[in-house]
Amino acid sequence: MLTQVAEGVLVHQSEFVQSNAVVVQGGSGVLLVDPGLTGAELECLADDLAGLGQPVVAAFSTHPDWDHVLWHPRLGEAPRYATALGAATMRDQLADPATKVRIAEHLPPEIHGQVPMDLLGLLIGLPDGTTELPWDGPVVRIVEHRGHAPGHAALWIEDRGVLVAGDMLSDVLVPMLDTDDDADPVEDYLAGLRLLDAVAGVAAVVVPGHGSVGGAGQVRERIDQDRAYVQALRDGEEPDDPRIGPSAQDGWDWVVGVHEWQVQQLRDRSGARPSSA
């Protein structure tokens, strides 16, 4: 089901990890951002768009993680854009014919066998430095950084006051740093948050890749919360963060494991000896 979050901007949320697909209405059709997740949900999304009477005329992938590069034949053949680095990273992954098999085999039990893989990751890289999405709808600014994944980008729809944050600014997931590819994952994440600071005071809505949509004032709160978490990791401190504390939302206790793994990854990268505690 599509839910309107601002004028001409709607969100379709998947049951699994509250994944958010974003629909932006334009002149001749819609922009579709990060559609997902299961085949049935993508069919539902296609039905909803058909009900609007507007085809998909452009799409955007915020970053090259499997759950943000999905597609379905019923969504049509619109260009599926990404940043140059995001598309190149996806292309490199797909050069290995075993990539889709590995993704399918390691899907969580709740969605195993339900995620369509045929059209996964077929992205068009925009030229390096592109700051505006090429389409005939409201101006969509591309805010690229390396905080979460290579070529990760948020989208700022200024006329609608909507920040589409990709895998950042979630109320249920802690910041997940790119510890695999990034030379300085902590500082790059903080740099990405500084870029989002520029719109924090004027954004009326924030849509994270996973979690609930935030209203006016919550953009700043979520940036500050993410920054405090990352700075705690940088300083070797335990974050005081409700997403990994006793007040974490039901069903999200596994985020504690993500946090602990991330702490260990940063220790290993720094050469620090893991604590025996």
Residue 197 dihedral angles phi and psi, to the nearest 5°: -55, -30
Tell me if 43 sits within 8 A of 37, measured CB to CB.
Answer: no
Q: What is the pLDDT of residues 228-273, one digit of tens each?
A: 999 999 999 999 999 998 878 888 989 999 999 999 999 888 774 3
pTM: 0.94
In the Cβ-directed half-sphere of 46, how many Cα atoms lie within 13 Å? 14
DSSP letter, residue 158: G
**Domains identified in the chain and CATH numbers:** 2-270 (3.60.15.10)
pLDDT in tens, 4-17: 999 999 999 999 99
Tens-digit pLDDT profile for residues 128-175: 999 999 999 999 999 999 889 999 999 999 999 999 999 999 999 999
With beta carbons less than 8 A apart as the criterion, state whether 165 and 149 touch. no
193 Cβ partners below 8 Å, 6+ apart? 147, 168, 223, 226, 227, 230
